[in-house]
Amino acid sequence: MWERTLQDLIRGLRANKKDESKFIAQAVDEIRQEIKSKDMEIKAAAVLKLTYLHMMGYDMGWASFHVVEVMSAPRIHLKTIGYLAAAESFKEDTDVLMLTTNLLKKDLGSRPEEVAIALNGLSHIVTPELARDLSPEIVATLNHSRPHIRKRAVLAMYKVLTKYPEILPQSMNRLRDKLDDSDPGVVAATVNVLCELAHRNPRDYLPLAPHLFHLLTTSSNNWMLIKIIKLFGTLTPYEPRLVKKLQPPITDLISTTAAISLLYECVRTCIIGGMLHGHSGNALARTCVTKLAGFLQDADQNLKYIALLAMVNIVPSHPELVAEYQDMILSSVNDEDISIRMRALDLVSAMVSRHNLQPILQQLLSHLVKSESVALPSASEALSQFATSPNAPIVRPAALPSQSPAYRLTLAQRILALGSQDVYANVTDFEWYISVLVDLAYVARVNIGEEIREQLVDIAGRVRAARRYAVQVMVKLLSDDAFLHNASDEGGCPEVLWAAAWICGEYCSELAEPHKLLSYLLQPRIVSLPTEIIAVYLHAAMKVFGSWGAELADRWDDDDLPKVRGVVDDVLERLSSFVTSPDIEVQERAAELLQLFTFVRADLAAFKPHPRSELLYGDAGAETFGGSSSPPIAEPQFPKSLYLIKPLFGAYELNAVALTAQASVPVPEGLDLEAWIVPPQEEPVLSQDTATEEAPEGKRVKKGKKDTGKTKRKGKGKGKAREDESGDEEGGHAPATPVAETAEERAERERVSVGRKAERLERLRDDPYYLIDDRTAPARLDAPDVDSIPVVKLDDLPPLSQAATVSSYLPSLRSSPAPPAQTFVIDRTGEMPEGARSPPPQPVGQSPRSSGSPAPYGNRSRAGTPLAVGAPTAAPLPSRFPAYDLDADEPRPGTPEPIKVMRAKKKGSGSGKKEKKRTQSRKTDGSTTQT
């Protein structure tokens, strides 16, 4: 019989590529026959072919026993084939591994070539059981006379100690001896094995430190020195005395070696081993930074990367040394390699301080602002390229790194993180930082608007000295048509307009003529913005008009009346387009504004300027204001509706809230947070009579049952019922004596009745045989009664002399003397509630908010405000005028028609005494003005 060799099998595979599976199936059948042969040569050849097919993906687990047979062959070349097949196919769960224990013991004590083959094979197939049983033989081979056997034994010890660490104490002395071996290969192998094993439990290898230090100072093998330095980097955190011992030799290596890999490993070991502290550590740190700075100037990108990576770890302990190469580091931010750019950003973030924040942020921002137009080749360059190789593809210039959206987003986020680090701890000029945030909104062209909005609102609330400048910048932003046009594009940052509208509305008192801002807040083009931003625009418009109206009232001049009427008419005209918005929030706010400004316009139309000769309002009413029995006071000289809106937003000062404010609120005495505020209602137990009475009308009691007479009696008339009752009395049944029902019993009965009715309706709702009328009552179509409109009293305004006087300033910001040097004070902690107690300790690893980012600022009303609530710590500030009150007896319709100003009609009948009394308590100078 002719058998195929491995070469024949490979030739056949190449010749039968179309029918490869068929050829392999035929070859496997032949191998199954050959592997059963008693001739060890044929069996070994079959195992070798099967191993080749196994490397192609075909299973040979069925031939494991035959592999063990070949491993036990006496000839060395056959034994090699067996160990090779075992290394390729055996796994830890292979069942024939238990048969190899004695075989391996025999081979480990045989000729050197067999020992070498057995050590190589054992390192691949070792299991915890084999490592335990063969550990004495392997440790014995560490003292073999042949150096290559000793080296193989050391390398095999790594796999044995990994599988069975319990033999480390028995083998430690032998491993220590191998560090002093006469053969350099054995020493290098031992150092390599110890370096890998020390990562698992470094304390076990501390006794080897003297021998390793001797090798460090005497060896000239760079690769072994790298392993030794790595090993010391693992051991020094567990033995601090090594730091002082290692500083001189490592400093000498850093200064003298020309091997880049060894130099970097020395720097890395100095960082992780804590060798850069103290006087000698400072000198070593300067040496390390100087060498790393040389890597940054190298053309090799790998050296730049490892230099930036090492500097990131040096910055926390020696920031002043790294800061000397700030320009060189910033130049790496725009490198073509994305990995270098990201490491440069990490290094820049680590080296930021109060002294270098501004130049660093300006440099980072310049990478986004930089022109991204790629320079085209000149005509001569294009012709020369075409003349040299007309068929060669045209090489187009590569895109600049800053064109990548992912990188631009990372760079923008890093700018914001550096500025807001530790609640703006590194920011010394907040006006400059506000300008940076606005510039970032213009040039980022990525979705970073939400983060910019949060910081703008947060700064305006925390830093009082920056509010004036913030309002000035936000006004310019709201009036920028180009920004509004691009806001709907990808990366347009429309959320910044949210912050601009909110800041201008909240701090509009900084503006000299805030009414000019209304045309930008209510312009029709904002309908393209997201609905939550439109809602903030409308809310800010109401704040701006309220502040401006109150200011005009304080310094009223009749010449201002046409201007106020024009502004109100313009606002009403602009609001008409928002009332029909599909968004319910925008629609509701627009409807509220429409009703308020309709009321203001009606009041302005009814207002009649007083002649100049009449007494002023404040002079006439300063002494008689507020008394019900005093003589009537004069009408105010200004439209009273101008004070209508501002009190809605000025009751509290909006401040930041401390992170632990909620947890520090003291619990009042007598309040039990665990007790029920309203005790749960007990289920009433219904008697049989009550259940029969409450049965639904659709269910009738069958005949022949109990209480039939009671059921029939319900259908009788009143007269018949009386006859039945009188018959009962005549039959000798005395009627029950009526008992007086107290108020508590009546309330309890009504409550139980209501509960039973609700339970019955809920039960019938799921009954398919019972129909419930769910139709709502039709709306009333009759005209509303004018007298039923709520009355707002505007008579109790304070005298003009008591109102705070506001100086009149001209456009833009209010003019004020500029301070010689601006000092910004930031509220980093926030307010705490009165009587605050110590908050409970936070669990380890949990915190209400990271200290690296500022806490969100407060909000006072729905979407038109920032993200969190700024709880006031003091009582509300007293208003300069009484609140608007409504009479309790007057009806309050849900959605009245636009309010008209007119005289109230006296009611003819009804509550005459009550009306007369109420009229006397509201006397004025002859008439009562109601709206």
- Given a cut of 70, whether residue 378 has pLDDT beyond it is no
Looking at residue 816, its pLDDT comes to 58
Cα(94)–Cα(142) distance, integer angstroms: 28
Average pLDDT over residues 160-187: 93
Helix, strand, coil shares, percent, the chain, to 5: 60, 0, 40
Are the C-beta atoms of 152 and 119 separated by less than 8 Å?
yes
Residue 884, pLDDT score: 36
- In DSSP notation, 199-220 reads TT-GGGGGGGHHHHHHHHHH--
Q: Is residue 726 predicted with pLDDT exceeding 50?
A: no
By mean pLDDT, which of 156-165, 324-333, 694-703 is the weakest? 694-703
pLDDT at 887 (0 to 100): 42
Residue 586 lies in a domain: yes
Sorting pLDDT into bands at 50, 70 and 90, what band is 916?
Answer: very low
Position 384 confidence tier, pLDDT thresholds 50, 70, 90: low
Tokens linked to 803 = 């109102």
Q: Measured in whole angstroms, how far is the alpha carbon of residue 802 from the centre of its chain?
A: 49
Residue with tokens 């209510």: 522
pLDDT in tens, 471-506: 999 999 999 999 999 998 888 899 999 999 999 999
Residue written as token pair 């909005």: 453
The pLDDT score that the predictor gives to residue 368 is 87
Count the domains in the chain.
1
Q: Is the pLDDT of residue 19 over 50?
A: yes
Choose the most confident range, by mean pLDDT, from 517-526, 742-751, 888-897: 517-526
Predicted confidence at residue 7, as pLDDT, reads 92
Name which residue leads in pLDDT, 34 or 800. Answer: 34
How confident is the model at residue 760, as a pLDDT?
79
Res 896: pLDDT? 40
Residue 779 within any structural domain of the chain? no
Give the mean pLDDT of 631-657.
Answer: 76
HSE (side-chain half, CA atoms, 13 Å) at 700: 8
Average pLDDT over residues 458-480: 93
What mean pLDDT do residues 784-796 have? Answer: 46
Q: Please tell me whether residue 826 adopts helix, strand or coil conformation.
A: strand
Over 80: is that where the pLDDT of 672 sits? yes
* Integer Cα distance of 79 and 696 in angstroms: 97
| 477-483 long-range contacts, CB within 8 A, separation 24+ | 477/438, 478/504, 478/517, 478/520, 478/521, 479/520, 481/525, 483/441, 483/442
DSSP-derived letter for residue 525 is G
For residue 721, is it left (φ>0), alpha (ψ between -120 and 50) or beta?
alpha
CB-based contact 185:150 (threshold 8 Å): no
Among the residue ranges 105-109, 281-285, 445-449, 648-652, the one predicted with the least confidence is: 648-652
- Which phi and psi angles does 813 have, rounded to 5°? -80, 160
Residue indicated by tokens 């990478």: 367
Amino acid code (one letter) for 37: S
In whole angstroms, what is the distance from residue 81 CA to residue 45 CA? 8
Given this model, what pLDDT does residue 443 score?
Answer: 92
Per-residue b/e over 885-912, b at no fewer than 16 CB within 10 Å?
eeeeeeeeeeeeeebebeeeeeeeeeee
Write out pLDDT tens, residues 828-847: 787 787 777 766 555 444 44
What does the pLDDT look like over 515-526, one tens digit per residue? Answer: 889 999 999 999
Segment of 275-284, 443-452, 901-910 carrying the highest mean pLDDT: 443-452
Q: Assess whether pLDDT exceeds 60 at residue 395.
A: no
- Domain span at residue 530 reads 512-607+639-654
Q: List pLDDT tens digits, range 861-874.
A: 333 434 333 333 33
Give CA–CA dist 621/829, Å, rounded. 46
Report helix, strand or coil for 860.
coil
Report yes or no: 289 and 314 within 8 Å, Cβ to Cβ.
yes
Q: Which two tokens stand for residue 86?
A: 């075992």
Reading the block at residue 524, the tokens are 């029709």
Sign of CA dihedral 808, 814, 817, 823: positive
- Across the chain, mean pLDDT equals 77
Q: What is the pLDDT of residues 768-783, one digit of tens each?
A: 766 666 655 544 444 4
Residue 738 pLDDT more than 80? no
Helices then strands (H, E): number in the chain? Answer: 38, 0
The three-state secondary structure class of 365 is helix
pLDDT at 644: 84
Q: 23: which residues sit within 8 A by CB, 6+ positions away?
A: 12, 13, 16
* 65-100 CB burial, b ≥16 within 10 A, e <16: ebbbbbbbbeeeebbbbbbbbbebbbeeebeebeeb
Residue 730 has pLDDT above 50, yes or no: no
Please indicate, yes or no, if residue 154 is contained in any of the structural domains.
no
Q: Confirm whether 118 is domain-assigned.
A: no
Angle CA 633–638–644, to nearest 5: 100
Assess whether pLDDT exceeds 90 at residue 714: no
Residue 2's pLDDT is: 52
The yes-or-no verdict on residue 407 having pLDDT over 50 is yes
pLDDT in tens, 197-248: 999 899 999 999 999 999 999 998 999 999 999 999 999 989 889 998 999 9
